[in-house]
Amino acid sequence: MKAPRPAAPAAVRVRNVRAGDLEDVAAIDLEITRLPKPGYWAEIYRRYGSGRRQQRFFLVAEAAGRIEGFVIGEVRDWEFGSPRCGWVFAINVRPKARLAGIGSRLLEAVCDGFRRLGVTKVRTMLARDNQLILSFFRSQGLMAAPFIPLEIDLDPAGTERA
């Protein structure tokens, strides 16, 4: 049996998320990350998808009545010392719907939202071993930003640091 072909980009509609989409969004995330996140998506919807959403975007790609992908981003001012810019902090497409331009459509849509707010720079941050998404953003023209993410493992509370 042949796998169904991914929807053509023209058949895909990108729109604001609705409460009824959350189950699909969480299912896409679970399929990709294999990590259930109870409560997380409801909280993200509360912060990015409902009410007055100044500078915040939570968009979904819908094809034939089914949610095939989503993108979440927001405009942040002076974060990390940087002038106002758009941050994309989540983008995912259902694995079987990939290679049909849905990711590109979602990224374009969130960038259009940023543009409407006067933003001219878009950033994201990725795990460096996440080759799939890293390659996707590269193919969309994103280049290395003038920032270096740093981290440290914290000793448990109550232990003295060497």
Q: Summarize as ranges the residues that interact with other proteins (CB under 8 A).
A: 128-129, 131, 134-135, 138-139, 141, 144
Closer CB to other proteins, 90 or 133, in the complex: 133
CB of 137 to other proteins, least distance (A): 8
Residue 42 vs 134, nearer CB to other proteins: 134
Residues 114/30/39/78 CA torsion (nearest 10 deg): -30
Give φ, ψ of 75 to 5 degrees. -90, 130
Between CA 48 and CA 54 the distance in angstroms is: 9
Closest to 92 measured CA to CA, from 6, 33, 16, 19: 33
Minimum distance from CB of 153 to other proteins (Å)?
14
Chain centre distance of CA 88:
5
Report in angstroms how near the CB of residue 32 gets to other proteins at its nearest.
18
Q: How far is the CB of 64 from other proteins (least distance, A)?
A: 26
DSSP alpha helix (H) spans, the chain: 22-33, 40-44, 102-116, 131-139
- For other proteins, the closer CB: 83 or 149: 149
Which tokens is 102 given? 């849905």
In the complex with other proteins, the residue whose CB is nearer, 10 or 162, is: 162
| Angle formed at CA 58 by CA 68 and CA 84, multiple of 5 degrees | 135
CB of 127 to other proteins, least distance (A): 9
Token code pair at residue 128: 């460096």
Residue 116 or residue 128: which is nearer to other proteins going by CB? 128
